[in-house]
Structure 1
């Protein structure tokens, strides 16, 4: 199994949610896990619970990431850290665009750039990128999910593209790349006021929702698979969630909307 070939792992966004659940699962599999996040208090508690190495690092700090990458030979990299905002391209704030690109995409590219070459040189390793169904599907405002921003969708689509290209770049090595694309998961993102009013009760309480441990189990399945096998992509959604949104407007409705916009 894959776990028998690996000794160390690095997990970003590790202080809560999917990241913390992944740290717990990988530690339980016997790996030495470097848990990366900004919240020192939560990391300390997680370290006391699991024995992981707490690394209070901002993923936007390239110098700190580079130093961390050189502190160990990482066999498993889980790019999990991410943020979301609520808006569309018509009203997205400049700061939101910058934050989402920096955290969701730029940090992943840099961390991959400084860690994966070592995996390739050792001919051993596994990269797990956490994307989102938002990177594959467009959501309308009437969708029964949070109306995440176009920048969020774009960054997660970038993670999907990165995962596919990384497999090409690593062809001929025994370094595997897995993209895990979750649907709705009961994490702190739904309690973020920037995502939309109502918080956890609105987006999680009334629905059948995945738990962070479900995604950690999916990651463990991929990492623990036989070395002859690469789980390229896992789309993991709740049993009562379906993706895709096809809508049509009647000509009269479209004309009415146009007239309303002209008057406003």
Structure 2
């Protein structure tokens, strides 16, 4: 017997996404994946030269902006919404600063991480949420970390920031009940990108490389981007609330198999 399935809701012919932190790593990989899937993409970051190269490679639109700046985010929202509907926001801009224990960690490092990971995500989400609702099928993706779900020695500031960022996603989902917007959290574990650990350790390449030493196949930026695009391309009545992903070699924030 043939089952009569309900008709799927109409899908816009052209979907459009905004990706923050798009100049490298997971953000750039997400732009590439979304463009390959046929989306229009606005790639947002602070570094104009890297954005220009990404635009030349992918055909994405680019917008130079700092998510920690109220003025930049207001300009971002005005320019993006003037260009048409917005169907997805990928809040990817973020990062860690330092790996000192609580007793000796720098307040400036904590302040910087909260400003970027938490308030940056809040600013851009608030600015684009009306457009996402108006699109009739909006998505807010929040890129957290396994640090948002557990802790580890030397990670206090980053863990605190990512826990706070996660609560933006979990609370916003509750507050948007009945609205045509999904809220998706992606929480990657160990991802080997060109800049994350290097930035964390203030440009110390030896310390950055040691993070991944002996680990069989850490996640790549493209692995995470693949997960982002998968969540965005589910039928819109399906919400992937939370997706936690790690390399097979990592079983927790503190236990990693090394050769």
- TM-score bin (small chain): 0.7 to 0.9
Q: Say how many residue pairs are matched.
A: 239
Q: Residue 78 of structure 1 aligns with which residue?
A: 90
Q: Residue 143 of structure 2 aligns with which residue?
A: 130
- TM-fit CA distance, 1:52: 0.9
**5+ residue gaps, structure 1:** 141-146, 247-264
> Is residue 2:51 matched to residue 1:43?
yes
CA contact (8 A) 2:86 2:135 kept: no
1:90 aligned residue (103, 115, 121):
103
1:222 aligned residue (231, 242, 246):
231
Q: 1:3 to 1:205 in 2, by over 3 A?
A: farther
CA contact (8 A) 1:84 1:195 kept: no
1:152 aligned residue (155, 158, 174):
158
> Is residue 2:118 matched to residue 1:105?
yes
- TM-fit CA distance, 1:88: 2.6
Q: TM-score, normalised by structure 1?
A: 0.84
CA contact (8 A) 2:189 2:245 kept: yes
> Is residue 2:221 matched to residue 1:179?
no
Q: Residue 210 of structure 1 aligns with which residue?
A: 219
Find the aligned partners of 2:128 and 2:68 in 1 and give their Cα distance. 16
1:52 aligned residue (60, 81, 85):
60
**SS of the counterpart of 2:104?**
coil
CA contact (8 A) 2:148 2:163 kept: yes
Task: Note the alpha carbon deviations across 1:52-102, whole angstroms, 9 max, x for none.
Answer: 112111111111211211222321100001121212321121211211111
CA contact (8 A) 2:189 2:253 kept: no
Find the aligned partners of 1:20 and 1:89 in 2 and give their Cα distance. 32
Between structure 1 and structure 2, the one with the greater Rg is 1
Cα RMSD for the two superposed structures: 2.1
- TM-fit CA distance, 1:165: 0.8
**5+ residue gaps, structure 2:** 1-7
